[in-house]
Chain A
Amino acid sequence: MSATDTSTTASPPDTTGGPGAFLRRYAGVGAALVVLIVFLSLTQENFLKYNNIMNILRTNAVMFVAAVGLTFVIVSQGLDLSVGSMTALGGVILAELLTSGVGAWPAIVLTILACTALGALVNGGLIAYGGFNFFVVTLAMLQLLRGAALVLSNGSPTSTFMWAPVQWVGDGRIGALPVPVLIAALIGVIGYAVMRWTRFGRAVYAVGGNETAARLAGIDVRRVRLTVYAISAACAGVSAVMLTGRLTSSQPVSAAVGLELSAAAAVLLGGASFAGGSGNIGGAAIGVLFLGVLANGITLAGVPSYWQGIATGLVLIAAIALDRIRAK
């Protein structure tokens, strides 16, 4: 219990909490993000330039979409380690469909549906209805899906440059705004609304907060669990299309390696806890932005990018330590 008790600052948005509670909840990482932005705008002249800002948003749109799906899973007291491999496989499926003559838009929809089905049937089915441990199932799928991507593609990338809609999703613009950023924002808003204002969203928090209580109160826990893994896979499918478009090709070997872990780090930074029952997509957005801005700052400052991992790890530990200290 202590793990959940000490994470009260990261409890789900209590709609009755008012603005004070909102501030308290995001004060930690939010304040750190502001400090980081102020620091970088003062020390790096290029930081506040429009192009740089859009660049940060564009390069992190894929991670944010994955993080939206992962938020559902983590709040329900689970974890989906297969997100990165699912994204890679989605790219391969998309490329296969396109090269075999399927139209671009139908191929995009089919790719997302295929990923969703895989996530629902294998991850969701085994975890929710088979009673398998989520860690084992999604770890196996991490291996299995990456393997499937390699087998399907023979390990070699396929160019998707010819198909304009895919390029548009990954790298297009509407006016001055990048399409992937708009897609990420749209998915974020939908995810936020579903978690905060629907019965399903409340059920996810209840299952993560106290599974037995949720079941005895009349929530179909298994269906909720299946659905969160389906949502995570659907988000991975969208990520796959966006990433393929940005890279102009499917990349079975190197695409989205470790995406699940950086996305999970962002979700945790945003106030979620592996103990379940807490966290939300607003927090995940702040977490993704923080990691994105940090990486950007490291690049702008000319620090070797190898330092990025060290910085991310330190920030994650610091954020959780801060949370513990404040909860006491």
Chain B
Amino acid sequence: MSTPTLSATGIRKTFGPTVALDAAQAVLHPGEIHALMGENGSGKSTLLTILAGVQQPDQGTITLDGRVLDDLTPATARSYGIAVVSQEPQMAPALTVGENIMLGRLPVRAGKVDWRATHLRAAEVLAELHLDIDPRTPVSALPLGRRQLVEIAKALVDRPRVLLLDEATSSLDEAETRTLFGLLERMKAAGCAIAFVSHRMTEVMDHADRATVLRDGQYIGTRTLRETDERELVSMMVGRDLKSYWHKAEVSPGDRLLRMVRVSRGALKSIDLTVNAGEIVGLAGLVGSGRSALLRTIAGVKKAEAGEMFFAGHSVRIESPRQARRLGIGYVPEDRKGEGLVMHWSLYRNAGLSRVAALKALAPVTGRIDRAAYDAGTQGLKVRTSDPRQAVSELSGGNQQKVLIARELAITPRLLLLDEPTRGVDVGAKEDIYAQIAELVKGGMGLIIASSELQELLGVCDRILVLYQGQIVADLTAAEADEETLAYWASGAHEIGAA
């Protein structure tokens, strides 16, 4: 085989005590499109940033055309012909498309910026991408998908030999994605080495020549796409089978609690969903698949735009979190610091917030309400604190999460929505939370749990729904679900079979 254009081998990278990459590798050859694959947290994005010089590895070797590079930084990367397209467009929105594309390399004539040349060169690059955008348009006037394409155009100005894309397609629609891959094919034909990170299995299967799979920061293997299939890649990503690791409460689902009929909002498309009392429904899917958006719609944070919702047999329109609470829907958001707790408040006060919020404006509120809410909500949750009057910010993540869950349990909801209930929570606290969930469901509560940890969903839920691009693509019972199946649906691999 030819000398690799860019290769990284034996890469180790740690962040404090966390090992992000260990003996990871990626080898890019001229004239290939190479997919970097792995689950959330597998280290694929970290590896990409190391290839781009944004981060320096603790150990390992990076070579360009067989020559060892030990001075790779974003600036030198550019001079070596390595260009990066990040997931989020990084542009100055007030400047024009042309200025953004040429930023840092604006042509100068007689001490002044040559705007004619700037816009001419920008227009050339845009034409290569088959983009019909006037370089004089301000970036702020463009929709997100177009901005992402401009970001790609920016990377092309220097005619790079290596192009690295980190989930560059996540904000593109189908036509834009086709435009992008059309361009990548042409660059590949010109001998460019291209690596991209993507969660969309279809893109990998349709466009990549080879794929490298990482799992838990380790190199699992590289496959030529012609000699593999999506099943093999998914099982490489997921690895070991850890099913039925958790103890699950034996319950018999009761009456129907929540029913959604063809509910749509934003990216959510025609969601049909039922949850019964005494049942735990899991929501699986990639980041951005609509898991959180679905919970937020049920919790009244965002109004449904179309479709019908029924709660305990009654047709309802949930228009605010306040109304959802009144119906008996509790909601624990994903970001406990940003959206859940008032960090400088005491445990008591935080635990009392949902109860207090449900009162009338001039209703009396004293510390007794907070203490009662705390006692009721934390029952069985084992919050570890020396003094519940201390600020919640002083607690560990696990204990903070327990206080937040206690806040919702204090209003004795009939349906509890949990978004990433154990993110950043230590193992002991996780077990406490799972035990509490099992108790709640025994008591007849219905739960919906959204999680990016497939093992957690498999361990806790009776039924798991998989979301992909805003739609429920699979509805599986605990018995028929396994990690491989969930990952298969979540990555959109099913679209290949259909096509």
CB pair A16 B362 closer than 8 Å = no
Query: Looking at the complex, which one of B325, B343, B358, B389 makes contact with A210 (CB distance below 8 Å)?
Result: B343
A181-221 residues with Cβ-Cβ distance < 8 A to B are 194, 197-203, 205-206, 209-210, 212-220
A17-B389, A206-B353, A219-B357 known; A212-B339 Cβ under 8 A: yes
Q: Are A216 and B344 in contact (CB under 8 A)?
A: no
Q: Any chain A CB within 8 A of the CB of B341?
A: yes
Alpha-carbon distance between A59 and B20 when the two chains are bound, in angstroms: 65
The reply to whether B365 and A198 contact each other, CB–CB distance below 8 Å, is yes
B360 to chain A, nearest CB (A): 7
Task: Flag if B322 contacts A220 (CB, 8 Å).
Answer: yes
The verdict on A202 contacting B344 (CB below 8 Å), with A16-B370, A216-B299, A218-B325 known, is no
Within 8 A of A (CB), among B273-313: 299, 301
Within 8 A of B (CB), among A1-52: 1, 4-5, 7-8, 11-12, 14-17
Q: Name the distance in Å between A196's Cβ and chain B's nearest Cβ.
A: 8
User: Contacts A213-B340, A213-B342, A217-B357 known; A201 to B370 CB distance under 8 Å?
Assistant: no
Q: CB of A125 within 8 A of chain B? A: no
Q: Is B407 an interface residue (CB 8 A)?
A: yes
* Interface pair A277/B342, CB less than 8 Å apart: yes
Q: Does A87 touch B at the CB level, under 8 Å? A: no
A1, A15, A216 pick with most chain B CB within 10 angstroms: A216
- Docked pose: A241 CA to B341 CA in angstroms: 42
B391 at the interface (CB under 8 A from A): yes
The CA of A257 and the CA of B226, in the complex, are separated in Å by 79
Pairwise interchain contact B364-A213, C-beta atoms closer than 8 A: no
Q: With an 8 A cutoff between CB atoms, is B345 at the interface?
A: yes
Q: Which A residue's beta carbon lies closest to that of B370?
A: A16
Measured in the bound complex, the distance between the Cα atoms of B319 and A220 in whole Å is 12
Partner of B339, one of A4, A15, A213, A277: A213
How far apart sit A220 and B345, CA to CA, in the bound complex (Å)? 19
Name A218's contact: one of B321, B348, B363, B366 (CB within 8 Å).
Answer: B321
Contact between B344 and A8, CB atoms less than 8 A apart:
yes
Q: How far is B370's CA from A223's CA once the two chains are assembled, in angstroms? A: 23
Interface size band for B: 35 or more
Total interface residues on A, CB under 8 Å, equals 34
The answer to whether residues A216 and B321 also contact, given A4-B343, A5-B344, A210-B343 and a CB cut-off of 8 A, is: yes
Type the 1/0 row for B331-371, where 1 means its CB is closer than 8 Å to any CB of A. Answer: 10100001111111110110001101111111111110011
Whether the Cβ atoms of A216 and B364 lie closer than 8 Å is no
- Whether B361 pairs with A217 at a CB distance below 8 angstroms is no
How distant is the Cα of A17 from the Cα of B367 in the complex, in angstroms?
9
**B374 to nearest A CB, angstroms?**
10
CB-nearest residue of chain A to B323:
A218
CA distance in complex: A220, B70 (Å): 56
- CA separation between A296 and B137, bound complex, in Å? 61
Is B55 among interface residues, defined by CB-CB distance under 8 A? no
Q: Is the CB of B299 within 8 A of A198?
A: no
Counting CB contacts under 8 A, is A278 at the interface?
yes
Q: Are B353 and A15 in contact (CB under 8 A)?
A: no
Q: Which of B344, B345, B364 contacts A197 (CB 8 A)?
A: B364
From the candidates A7, A197, A217, name the one contacting B407 in the complex (CB within 8 A).
A217
Contact between A217 and B349, CB atoms less than 8 A apart: no
Per the bound structure, the CA–CA distance linking A20 and B343 in Å amounts to: 21
With known contacts A198-B362, A218-B325, A277-B342, A16–B389 Cβ distance under 8 A = yes
* B393: interface (CB < 8 Å): yes
Distance (whole angstroms) from the CB of B313 to the closest CB of chain A: 23
Report B98-142 residues with CB < 8 Å from chain A CB: none
| Residue B396 at the chain A interface, CB threshold 8 Å | no
By a CB distance below 8 angstroms, the chain B residues around A7 are 344
Among A12, A194, A216, contact of B331 (Cβ-Cβ < 8 Å): A216
Residues of A within 8 A of B363 (CB): 198-199
| CB of B320 within 8 Å of the partner chain | yes
The smallest C-beta distance from B350 to any residue of chain A, in angstroms, reads 9
Please tell me if the beta carbons of A200 and B299 are within 8 angstroms of each other in the complex.
no
* B321 and A200 within 8 A (CB): no
Report chain B residues within 8 Å CB of A8.
Answer: 344, 391
Q: Is the CB of B356 within 8 A of A209?
A: no
**Separation of A217 and B357 alpha carbons in the complex (Å):** 7
Residues of B near A198 (CB, < 8 A) are: 361-365
B 241-261 binary contact with A (CB < 8 Å = 1; else 0)? 000000000000000000000
| A 284-315 contacts with B by CB, 8 A | none
Q: Is the CB of B371 within 8 A of A202?
A: no
Chain A residues whose C-beta falls within 8 Å of the C-beta of B341 in the assembled complex: 210, 213
Looking at the assembled complex, report how far the CB atom of B30 sits from the nearest CB atom of chain A, in whole angstroms.
48
Task: Looking at the assembled complex, report how far the CB atom of B349 sits from the nearest CB atom of chain A, in whole angstroms.
Answer: 7
A12 contact set on B, CB distance < 8 A? 345
Tell me whether A14 and B339 are in contact in the complex, defined as CB-CB below 8 angstroms, given that A198-B363, A206-B353, A219-B322 are known contacts: no
Evaluate contact between B391 and A217: CB separation under 8 angstroms: no
CA distance A240 to B49 in the complex (A): 62
Query: Which residue of chain A is the closest to B341 with respect to CB atoms?
Result: A213
Contact A14 B353 (CB under 8 A): no
A310 to B78, CA, bound (A): 54
A186 to B322, CA, bound (A): 33
Name the A residues within 8 Å of B322 (CB-CB): 218-220
Nearest residue, chain B, Cβ from A220: B322
Q: Which residues of A contact B356 (CB under 8 A)?
A: 199, 202-203
Given A17-B389, A277-B344: A197 and B365 interface contact (C-beta under 8 Å):
yes
Within 8 A of A (CB), among B357-407: 357-367, 370-371, 388-389, 391, 393, 407
User: Which of the residues A11, A15, A213, A220 comes within 8 Å of B370, measured between beta carbons?
Assistant: A15
Chain A residues within an 8 Å CB radius of B339: 210, 212-213, 216
Which residue of the partner chain, among B325, B357, B389, contacts A14 with CB atoms under 8 Å?
B389
Query: From A203, which residue of chain B is reached at the shortest CB distance?
Result: B357
B311 CB to nearest A CB, Å: 16
Question: Bound state CA distance, A217 and B353, in angstroms?
Answer: 7
Contact of B342 among A199, A200, A210, A218 (CB under 8 A): A210
Determine whether the beta carbon of A199 is less than 8 Å from that of B359. yes
**Chain A hits for B357, CB < 8 A:** 199, 203, 206, 214, 217-219
Q: Which residues does chain A contribute within 8 Å of B324, judged by CB atoms?
A: 218
Q: What 7 pairs between A and B have smallest CB-CB spacing?
A: A15-B367, A209-B342, A218-B357, A199-B359, A218-B325, A218-B322, A16-B367
Please report B residues at the A interface, Cβ cutoff 8 Å.
Answer: 299, 301, 320-322, 324-326, 331, 333, 338-346, 348-349, 353-354, 356-367, 370-371, 388-389, 391, 393, 407
User: Can you show 12 pairs from A to B with CB atoms below 8 A apart?
Assistant: A1-B343, A11-B344, A16-B367, A197-B364, A197-B365, A199-B362, A201-B365, A205-B345, A209-B342, A212-B339, A218-B325, A219-B357
Q: In the complex, given contacts A199-B364, A200-B361, A206-B353, what are 9 additional A-B residue pairs having Cβ atoms less than 8 angstroms apart?
A: A14-B389, A199-B359, A202-B365, A206-B342, A213-B338, A214-B357, A216-B299, A216-B333, A218-B358
